[in-house]
């Protein structure tokens, strides 16, 4: 008999890694048990602190996460760390990536660290929701810090960073000029900037350009976004970055913004969950519903455009009622 959701939650709360991994799989695959899992876990969550790492591929974000974890674990209070690496690669893309994951897993023999890669293809835009739930699961299982890492940088990655309390944007000197950074929407979301691989040409120039841009459009009265030069592979500058996270946490909390952020996150989670249920219900209806099937056929044959078809469906009270009946279980 497979363990019940309650068993898994109990075991994960007591530090059982297999149970935690299974709960994360539930969340990642959006299994029917997810609401039950999260209902049980939510009261135990809320004490973890979420730090997001984003920036273009190849900037050394994984190494940075690795080193920040080391710094945190070396502290007197040795906080437990959960790492969520959001990875859009399909599971069968090649040995190199598998190797990379094994490297991470081997590195974290430490019992106080849990690493999870989440593949994202096919999650249909629900990824920020999945990342947020995974963070909740990790918090509830006793992780004090949740480090969220993305591979690329784009709209979804910006949305993922909204589920973090502190956002660190990692750049490298040669990853394009500061105008590119601004275009990618990174200026707006950064609480801390890191120029990694700072021994390379152009690090100081990039740092100055970011600094000027920050002065042109200051974000908040209660926080000046700092810029750090690091060499993550050598551990240089990591202590300073980690201390800045703590300062930002304090400033967030004292200004009342941490509470406001968490409330917004709760509202977002609520709407996302409702929307997902509705969308899943609609897709589920497709297989058995002749009317929906026939509409899709007409779209494929070019007899109706998708937008008019959508309007037709939304005006079909009978279909909508059938659909509503399928919701809520």
Q: How far apart are CB 130 and a copy of itself at their closest, in Å?
A: 11
Stretch that binds a copy of itself, among 1-9, 18-26, 233-241, 277-285 (CB under 8 A): 277-285
- Tokens representing residue 244 in the block: 């800045």
Give the number of other Cβ atoms within 10 Å of residue 301's Cβ: 8
- Cα 278 to Cα 268: distance, rounded to the nearest angstrom: 15
Q: What is the Cα Rg of the chain in Å?
A: 22
Q: Does 269 bind a copy of itself (CB under 8 A)?
A: yes
Instruction: Between 112 and 202, name the residue whose CB sits nearer to a copy of itself.
Output: 202
Q: Does 321 bind a copy of itself (CB under 8 A)?
A: yes
Kindly write out the interface string for residues 73-112 of this chain, putting x where it contacts a copy of itself by CB under 8 A and - elsewhere.
Answer: --------------xxxx-xxx-xx--x------------
- The residue within the footprint of a copy of itself, chosen from 21, 71, 213, 251 (CB under 8 A), is 213
Q: How far apart are CB 128 and a copy of itself at their closest, in Å?
A: 8
Kindly write out the interface string for residues 112-141 of this chain, putting x where it contacts a copy of itself by CB under 8 A and - elsewhere.
Answer: --------xx-x-x-x--------------
Q: How far apart are CB 100 and a copy of itself at their closest, in Å?
A: 7
- Cα 130 to Cα 140: distance, rounded to the nearest angstrom: 15
Q: How far is CA 173 from CA 13, 86, 212, 283, in A?
A: 42, 24, 16, 45
Stretch that binds a copy of itself, among 141-149, 224-232, 243-251, 274-282 (CB under 8 A): 274-282
Q: How far is CA 273 from CA 20, 60, 86, 144, 163, in A?
A: 21, 33, 20, 25, 15
Q: How far apart are CB 120 and a copy of itself at their closest, in Å?
A: 6
- In the β-sheet with 81-87, what is the strand arrangement from edge to edge? 113-119, 81-87, 145-150, 49-54, 166-171, 192-195, 227-229
How many chain residues bind a copy of itself (CB under 8 A)?
Answer: 89
Q: Does 63 bind a copy of itself (CB under 8 A)?
A: no
Q: Does 35 bind a copy of itself (CB under 8 A)?
A: yes
- The residue within the footprint of a copy of itself, chosen from 67, 141, 150, 231 (CB under 8 A), is 150
- Cα 190 to Cα 226: distance, rounded to the nearest angstrom: 9
Tokens 């784009």 belong to 154
């Amino acid at each position: 008999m497979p363990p019940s959701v309650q068993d898994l939650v109990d075991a994960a709360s007591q530090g059982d890694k297999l149970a935690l991994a299974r709960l994360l799989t539930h969340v990642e695959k959006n299994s029917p048990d997810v609401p039950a899992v999260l209902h049980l876990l939510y009261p135990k969550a809320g004490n973890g602190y979420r730090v997001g790492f984003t920036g273009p591929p190849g900037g050394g974000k994984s190494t940075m996460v690795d080193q920040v974890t080391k710094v945190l674990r070396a502290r007197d209070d040795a906080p437990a760390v959960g790492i969520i690496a959001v990875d859009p690669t399909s599971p069968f893309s090649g040995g190199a990536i598998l190797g990379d994951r094994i490297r991470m897993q081997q590195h974290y023999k430490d019992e106080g660290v849990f690493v999870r890669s989440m593949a994202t293809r096919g999650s249909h835009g629900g990824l920020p929701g999945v990342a947020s739930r995974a963070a909740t699961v990790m918090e509830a299982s006793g992780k004090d810090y949740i480090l969220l890492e993305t591979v690329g940088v784009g709209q979804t990655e910006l949305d993922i960073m909204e589920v973090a309390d502190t956002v660190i944007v990692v750049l490298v000197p040669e990853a394009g000029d500061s105008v590119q950074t601004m275009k990618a929407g990174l200026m707006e979301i950064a609480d801390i900037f890191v120029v990694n691989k700072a021994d390379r040409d152009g690090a100081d120039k990039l740092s100055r350009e970011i600094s000027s841009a920050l002065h042109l459009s200051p974000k908040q009265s209660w926080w000046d976004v700092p810029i750090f030069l690091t060499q993550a592979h050598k551990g240089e500058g990591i202590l300073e970055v980690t201390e800045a996270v703590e300062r930002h946490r304090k400033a967030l909390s004292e200004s009342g913004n941490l509470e406001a952020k968490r409330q917004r996150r709760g509202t977002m989670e609520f709407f996302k969950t409702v929307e997902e249920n509705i969308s899943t219900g609609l897709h589920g209806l497709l297989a058995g519903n002749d009317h929906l099937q026939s509409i899709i056929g007409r779209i494929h044959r070019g007899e109706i455009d998708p937008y008019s078809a959508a309007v037709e469906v939304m005006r079909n009270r009978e279909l909508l009622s059938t659909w509503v009946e399928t919701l809520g279980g």
